[in-house]
Amino acid sequence: MKLKQTIQKAELEAKRRLEIDLSTVNMEEAKANEQGFMIVRKKQKPSNQTRFSQTIDMNISYLCQAQYLTSAEFSFIFTLAPMLKIGVNAIVDPQTGQYCSVSEIATFLKRSRQKTSEMISALIEKGIIYEFANTHELKIHGRHVTRRPFFLNPEILCCGDKNKLESGITQLMIHFNILERAGIKLPIKAVVEPHNKYGKLVRRKTYLELQKKWNKK
């Protein structure tokens, strides 16, 4: 009985203090309004702004078991993490945010340009790195004239929200489907549904269901 009374007393005291606080706030707002001002709550900064990338563990494990990538290729992929643009997975200069050329990637990673070029070419063939090539340039000049963006497959390493993948790179991956054609059936797949602004990562079952639905259309 005594404990109950103590609790009730504490609750009444807390309620009284809250009413006093609210009354004070209302008075301050009224004074500010009289003088032509308004009180605005200050936005709190995020407590932790540490940049990070997510490894898609189930896919990493699958690729290891399938021996699809060499140890050197895995190592190269993970050293690219600091160069990935958040929400886009493009390989960029961390300071400027500009797309990196092969030479610039090599410089950042402290590797030779030749070995970096060979590694990137091998990973493009395997569907781990993608590039947006300007076909108009190739027709006119027979080679790349402007810088071509490189993107790391977000099914392996994703920088940003896995439910907000850049739709362009996701559509490119689905269109060419390099991993699937090589017989690599990743447990987690990237999809982008018609008219959606973003792509996302889903389990393979969902991916197959969506593929079946799209093929019927």
Residue identified by tokens 């790391």 is: 152
- Both 60 and 38 in one domain: the answer is no
Residue 48 lies in a domain: no
| pLDDT cut 70: percent of the chain above it | 69
Domain membership of residue 20 as a residue range: 1-42
Average pLDDT over residues 30-45: 56
Residue 62 lies in a domain: yes
- Both 95 and 37 in one domain: the answer is no
- Both 105 and 152 in one domain: the answer is yes
Residue 106 lies in a domain: yes
- Both 199 and 112 in one domain: the answer is yes
Tell me if 161 sits within 8 A of 87, measured CB to CB.
yes
Closest to 152 (Cα-Cα) out of 50, 79, 204, 63 = 79
The encoded tokens of residue 31 equal: 């004074």
Number of folded domains that form the chain: 2
Residue 1 lies in a domain: yes
Task: Reply yes or no on whether the pLDDT at 144 is more than 60.
Answer: no
- Both 63 and 33 in one domain: the answer is no
pTM for this predicted structure? 0.72
- Both 102 and 30 in one domain: the answer is no
CATH number of residue 99's parent domain: 1.10.10.10
| pLDDT cut 90: percent of the chain above it | 58
Round to the nearest angstrom and report the end-to-end CA distance of the chain.
71
Residue 36 lies in a domain: yes
The encoded tokens of residue 25 equal: 């706030």
- Both 106 and 31 in one domain: the answer is no
Residue 90 lies in a domain: yes
> Could you read off the pLDDT of 89-122 as tens digits, one per residue?
999 999 999 999 999 999 999 999 999 999 999 9
Residues 6+ apart with CB under 8 A from 191: 170, 174, 199, 200, 201, 202, 206, 207, 210
